[in-house]
Structure 1
Amino acid sequence: MKKIEKQQRFVSQHLELFRCPVCHEPFTALQGNSIICSRGHQIDFNKHGYLHFLNGAADTEYGREMFLARRQLLSAGLFLPIVQAIAKILPKRPLKVLDVGTGEGTPLYQLAKIRSDQNDCLMGFDISKAGVTLATQLAMDAFFCVADLRQLPFNDHSFDAVIELFSPSDYAEFNRVLTPSGILVKVIPNADYLGELRQLLYDQDDQHASYDNSRVKELFAKHYPNCQIQRVRYRFDIPTGLQAALVEMTPLHWGRGAKQLSPAELDKLQAVTVDVSLLIANKF
C-alpha cells in the first residue's frame, strides 16, 4: 500500500476526529484525494500523504537539517527514558493519543513500540512541513499533519491523551480536544538540561547560560491546580560522530552570544545531562 493510501485509510477510519480549520464544522466525507466538511470546505492530501491544515504560511525556523539531526540523536536514545516515563503514566488501555509539536515523529514512534499491545490511535502534528514530511516516513500506524496548536483541526473531546515534548502550549485548545477524563503530559527542560552543551556555547555571564522553568510550571499549575510533577534525569553518552548533530538539533545555538564550536571542542563533548520535568494533569 502506498503511503498516501495508508494515510487516507487512517483518516477514513477516524474521520470523526477531524474538524474544518475554516468553519470548525466536522469533516464528513473522504472523496478521492480530499476530505470535505459539512459546509463544503475541502483539504487535499499532498504527495507525502499528510494533510495541511494551516490557513496561511507556517512561521517556523525549524528546518529539515535540524530535524534530520534530531532524528539521529533520538533514534540513538536521547529521549527514550522520557518516552518510557510517559508510557508508564498513560492508562493501559487503547487510547487516542495526540502528540503536540511532533517534529520528525521519533518520540511518538518510540511510544508506539512501547505500547504496541494497546492498539492505540496515534496522531502527531507540527507547524513545520519539514518535520511532518520526515515523520510520514516512519514505519508506524499513525497519522501526521501540519497544524497550528492555537487552532487544532480536531473535534471536541476527541483524544484520551495529549503529550507534548518541549513545545509551546495552548491549554484552552488542549482541554477542548481532550475527553472529560483525558490526561495531559507536558515535558519541559530543567536548569541542567544539556548543561554541558550550554556551557560550551555561552560565557558564564550570558543570559543563555542558564535556564529557569518556574514560570512554565506556575502557569501549568494555574490551569491544573491538582497537577503532578515528575522529574526524569540521566546522563546520555553521545554516539561517536554525533556531537555536531546534537548542536544542530537544538535551538540552544541560536542565541546571539552563541560560540561557533571547533571540532576539538565538539570532541570533548562525550556525554550530556538530560534533566526534565513531566507536568501531568487530568482534565478534571
Structure 2
Amino acid sequence: MAADLDRLAAWLRCPVCTADLRPVDRLTLGCGNGHRHDVNKRGYVALLGSGTSHVGDTADMLDARERVLEGGAYSPIAAAVSAACSGEHIVDAGAGTGYYLRAALPGRPGAHGLAMDLSAQAVARAVRSSDRIDGLVADTWRPLPIRSGVADVVLDVFAPRNLPEFQRVLRPDGRLVVVVPRADHLGSLRETGTMLDIPSDKADDVIHASETLYALLRREHVAYDLPLTDDLRTALIAMGPSARHASRHTAEPVTVGSTRVSVDVLLFSRR
C-alpha cells in the first residue's frame, strides 16, 4: 500500500493551499501546511473541496456504460484514442470506469494513469480495473488538485473540459486528446426522442475555445455503423446524460436495429 500511496501522492496538490501532497500514514495524504486528506481503502482520494454543485454518474449509468464499452461497441474510438496518446503519465479527466485510460496506457511497465471523475463510484471501478491506475474524485470545473506539469497527456472523452487547468497540469511538450460526438452520433436513437441532441459544430467550438492555449495537431473522424441488440440499445440510452432527461413515458418502445457512431478525436499540443 505504501508504494501505491507514494504514486498517488506524486500526482496531487492540496485543494486548500495548492502545496504538494505527501503520504502521512497508511491511508492519509497531507501537505506541509497541515491539511490532511483521507485515502479510501480501495486506493483513491476525494479532493472535492467545498462548493461543488455538480452530480456524478449513478451506479445504474455506470453499469450501462460498462455493458457498452466492455462489449466492444466503442472499441474503434478507444483505438483512435490510444493512437493519439504518447508518454507514460496520463490524466483522464472524466474517466468514468477507466475504459479509455486503460486503452491509452502504453505497454511499458512504468506507464500509469490518473482516473479523475466526479463520481466516487466511477473512480472506484477505474482503480479496480487496473493496477496501473490511480484514482481522484474531483470536479473538473474547479481548480484541479493536480500538480503542475505532471502529465504527458490529458485525456477528455465525452467529458467536461477545463482547458486552462488541463494546460497547467501538462508538461511543456504535453498533449491534450479530446473526443466529442458529431451531430449524427447515435442519430437513429436521437430521432426517437430518447436522447439529447448534439450541437452540429461541437468540435469547431472546442478548437476555437482552445486556440490561445493549444495548437491543433490532428482532427480524426471516427465513424461506423453499430448493430443494436435490445440490451445494447437500452444501455446506450442509459449510460449518459440522456438517462436523466429522456422521457420515461414514450408512446412506443425503441426498436431501431442499428445506429451510427460518429465522433471527432482532436489532438492538441500545449502552447
Q: TM-score, normalised by structure 1?
A: 0.84
Matched, 1:100 2:100: no
Q: Residue 149 of structure 2 corresponds to which residue in structure 1?
A: 157
Q: Residue 132 of structure 1 corresponds to which residue in structure 2?
A: 123
Task: Note the C-alpha offset of 1:270.
Answer: 2.6
Q: Residue 211 of structure 1 corresponds to which residue in structure 2?
A: 199
Q: Residue 83 of structure 2 corresponds to which residue in structure 1?
A: 88
Matched, 1:45 2:17: no
Q: Tell me, in whole angstroms, the C-alpha distance in 1 between the residues paired with 2:132 and 2:88.
A: 14
Q: Tell me, in whole angstroms, the C-alpha distance in 1 between the residues paired with 2:56 and 2:84.
A: 32
Q: Tell me, in whole angstroms, the C-alpha distance in 2 between the residues paired with 1:202 and 1:247.
A: 7
1:74 paired residue among 69, 91, 100: 69
Q: Supply the RMSD in Å over aligned alpha carbons.
A: 2.4
Aligned to 2:253, what secondary structure does the other structure show? helix
Provide the aligned length of Structure 1 versus Structure 2: 267
Q: Contact between 1:76 and 1:239, CA under 8 Å: does it hold in 2?
A: no
**Paired AA for residue 165 in structure 1:** V
Change (3 A) 1:240 1:119: farther
1:116 paired residue among 107, 114, 133: 107
% identity of equivalent residues: 26
Task: Note the C-alpha offset of 1:138.
Answer: 1.3
Q: Contact between 2:228 and 2:258, CA under 8 Å: does it hold in 1?
A: yes
Q: Contact between 1:97 and 1:162, CA under 8 Å: does it hold in 2?
A: yes
Change (3 A) 1:128 1:261: same
Q: Tell me, in whole angstroms, the C-alpha distance in 1 between the residues paired with 2:42 and 2:228.
A: 32
Task: Note the C-alpha offset of 1:221.
Answer: 3.5
Q: Residue 186 of structure 2 corresponds to which residue in structure 1?
A: 194
Task: Note the C-alpha offset of 1:218.
Answer: 2.3
Task: Note the C-alpha offset of 1:251.
Answer: 1.8
**Paired AA for residue 124 in structure 2:** T
Change (3 A) 1:28 1:254: closer
Deviations 1:69-107 (A, max 9, x none): 00110101122211211211223xx41000010112222
Task: Note the C-alpha offset of 1:14.
Answer: 5.2
Q: Tell me, in whole angstroms, the C-alpha distance in 2 between the residues paired with 1:247 and 1:169.
A: 22
Q: Residue 136 of structure 2 corresponds to which residue in structure 1?
A: 145
Q: Tell me, in whole angstroms, the C-alpha distance in 1 between the residues paired with 2:236 and 2:117.
A: 21
Q: Residue 267 of structure 2 corresponds to which residue in structure 1?
A: 280
Q: Contact between 1:122 and 1:141, CA under 8 Å: does it hold in 2?
A: yes
Structure number having the greater helix percentage: 1
Q: Contact between 1:233 and 1:273, CA under 8 Å: does it hold in 2?
A: yes
* Deviates most, 235-244 or 29-38: 235-244
Q: Tell me, in whole angstroms, the C-alpha distance in 1 between the residues paired with 2:108 and 2:259.
A: 32
Q: Tell me, in whole angstroms, the C-alpha distance in 2 between the residues paired with 1:19 and 1:83.
A: 29
Q: TM-score, normalised by structure 2?
A: 0.88
Q: Tell me, in whole angstroms, the C-alpha distance in 2 between the residues paired with 1:281 and 1:118.
A: 26
Q: Contact between 1:221 and 1:227, CA under 8 Å: does it hold in 2?
A: no
Change (3 A) 1:220 1:118: farther
Change (3 A) 1:210 1:42: closer
1:12-23 residue pairs with structure 2 within 5 A?
Answer: 12-13=6-7, 15-23=9-17
Structure 1 runs not aligned, ≥5 long: none
Structure 2 runs not aligned, ≥5 long: none
Matched, 1:230 2:220: yes
Q: Tell me, in whole angstroms, the C-alpha distance in 2 between the residues paired with 1:241 and 1:18.
A: 39
Q: Contact between 1:201 and 1:259, CA under 8 Å: does it hold in 2?
A: no
Q: Tell me, in whole angstroms, the C-alpha distance in 1 between the residues paired with 2:211 and 2:228.
A: 34
